[in-house]
Amino acid sequence: MNQSIIFTDQQSWNANNKTVTFIGQQAGNLIECVVSVSYLQNLSQLPIEDENVALQVFSEYRFDLEDLAEELIEAEEFNQLGQIEIN
């Protein structure tokens, strides 16, 4: 793992977009990373119908998701809002 990118322990559920948001930090800049429920469902092979299940699945696969987000950050794959999206 590249120590120039650090992920906080925070994660939150966005009910409108059906995503889990987590935060990375690189050179003092906070980078919002979002992972879709559909990606979490494909990863876990579980139906995700509410916040509790989404956050539980996210926690279970957190390190894999952070590794993927790190790769996307290093490749500068930011969306128009400056976020990293994992779909």
pLDDT at 71: 96
Mean pLDDT taken over the chain:
95
Better pLDDT: 34 or 4: 34
Domain at 5-86: CATH code: 3.30.160.140
CB 54 within 8 A of CB 37: yes
Task: With a cut of 80, say whether residue 1 has pLDDT above it.
Answer: no
CB 64 within 8 A of CB 2: no
Beta-carbon contacts of 81 under 8 Å, excluding residues fewer than 6 positions away, are: 32
Better pLDDT: 28 or 39: 39
pLDDT at 4: 85
| pTM of the model as a whole | 0.92
Q: What are 85's strand-pairing partners?
A: 34
Q: Could you tell me the residue ranges of all domains in the chain?
A: 5-86
